[in-house]
Amino acid sequence: MPALLGVAAGAALVLIAVLVTYLGRLGRVRGPVLEEVRRSMRGGVIEHLRGRGPQARGRMGQLEVTVDLYRDTARPSQSPMWRVLAIGPVAIERPIEARVGRWQGWIDPWMQLGGTLSVPATVGPEFTVHSEHPTTLEHPVVMALRRQGPSLGAGALHARPDLMRAEVRFSTRLDDNRPLFAYLHAMSEISEIRPARHARGAATSSPRPRRLNIVPHETE
């Protein structure tokens, strides 16, 4: 019995050490990324909410944007993930949801009941678009995501006329969180699109990856 207790205690110590190391890496990445998000927005601020941790908030285009790190207990393999809420006018008529990189789960589960459009990989990844009504490659959401090219990574984007939401993969490697900024850039672009542009075809030129100035620094 004492031997078993010793093994259990040793395993618990190892587990605690791994957890502390992971949480330390998470904090060292979350801080710099949120700071870069803050700098990319007008009037950007970092807020610390009890029970939720820090979040970046500010304006991008016509949108009031909030970005935080979120853990979904129903999807432990994808948690934690970056979560974006953008409130403001969106130049689309009906809800639509795009899922990139075999993203699991739905921001709006009702979207899985609609039609599916597969968007082929060009200079960026392949993704699927889901909507209650037929969608084409000329849809503003599709065009904005494709223009992000190789900067786009695994995640999901949901848009409706009054807001947009996004979920983006988090990584403990600082540079691997660049896709978050690709989604933010696409959301800002979608909000600025005028209805007259909806009829235009998708861009034929290869989009240029967006360079981001994420500088690691110590966080508390």
Cβ contact 90:162 at 8 Å? yes
The DSSP H or E segment spanning 148 is: none
Mean of per-residue pLDDT scores for the chain: 82
Average pLDDT over residues 71-79: 92
Strand partners, 163: 87, 160
Please tell me whether residue 4 adopts helix, strand or coil conformation: helix
For 12-54, write each residue's pLDDT tens digit: 333 332 333 444 567 789 999 999 999 999 999 999 988 789 9
Tokens found for residue 117: 């459009």
**What integer pLDDT is reported at residue 167 of this predicted model?**
98
Please count the CA atoms within 13 angstroms of the CA of 195 that sit on its side-chain side: 4
For 106, what's the count of Cα atoms within 13 Å in the CB-facing half-sphere? 14
Confidence of residue 164 (pLDDT cuts 50, 70, 90): very high
Domain boundaries, the chain: 2-199
Residue 144 has pLDDT above 80, yes or no: yes
Q: What is the pLDDT of residue 213?
A: 53
How far apart CA 168 and CA 27 sit, in angstroms, is 17
- As a whole number of angstroms, the distance between CA 179 and CA 218 comes to 22
Cβ neighbours of residue 174 closer than 8 Å, sequence gap 6 or more: 28, 29, 32, 33, 214, 216
Please tell me whether residue 28 adopts helix, strand or coil conformation: helix
Q: Which of 57, 32, 35 is nearest to 173 (CA)?
A: 32
**pTM of the model as a whole:** 0.78
